Amino acid sequence: KLSPDRTHYVVNGEKKWITNGAFADYFSVAVRTGPQGMKGISMLLIEKSMPGVTVRPMKCGGAWSSGTAYITFEDVQVPVQNLIGNENEGFKYSMSNFNHERWSVICQSVRFARVCYEEAFKYACKRKTFGKTLIDQPVIRAKLGTMARSIEAHLEQITYQMTIMSYDKIRLRLAGPIALLKVQATQLFDLCTREATQVFGGLGYTRGGQGEKVERLYRDVRAIVMGGGSEEIMLDLGMRQAAAKFSKL
């Protein structure tokens, strides 16, 4: 709510699962300043030190270093000078970040999937059972082959297009493909954590030791899968964008 003298906004609300919220001194906050819908959202810069701001760390299953937090705002007085951009245009600013955020999630997922594959491959080459190394077992080679095949996706193509297109073209032409690739990359990461854990056996479920990287990524994978938009939302976005393009042909 804008104060009667129009010098500050009074903010009330809460938001969970804020990455780095436990460490941040400043928050860019989407607040409702207008009517229902996307055209009633504004973006404010709120300082952690402002009276009424409470930050509580959340204990999540994985990604412990992310500082995930639950933040509440109780009658926080925010100067009007802290408005980012124009009033009621905050939704547009928020959406403008999503393509690059999802691209970064794709990069993380592919890189972590490669780590799982590399660790499992090295272990399979040296671990012996019943007189043979694991890599000599067809079922293990099949697991590693599936991981390696799936890793070679289309990240490089999307990345190249993002470097040569204007922002407006990225928004119109790449939002759908990026959303779909985000699903593929995070499912790949999920697959590789599972298969690598199977190769390591108990060592992949033990903190520390030879399988520590795989064990940690097995815990962290859900944060990557959910971050930046769930699979269901991403698949729907990809198809809606494709349908919109088709209707204009």
CA distances from residue 191 to 75, 146, 214, 230 in whole angstroms, order as listed: 45, 9, 12, 17
State residue 152's pLDDT score: 65
- Cα atoms in the 13 Å half-sphere on the side-chain side of 217: 28
Distance CA 223, CA 233 (A): 16
Question: In the 8-state DSSP scheme, what is residue 68?
Answer: -
Q: What is the mean pLDDT of each run of 10 residues along the chain (249 residues)?
A: 94 93 95 93 96 94 87 97 95 86 90 92 91 91 84 78 88 86 90 93 88 92 87 85 72
State residue 189's pLDDT score: 92
State residue 55's pLDDT score: 97
- Going by their DSSP bridges, the two strands 41-47 and 53-57 should be labelled as unpaired
Tell me which residue has tokens 């547009």.
92
State residue 249's pLDDT score: 62
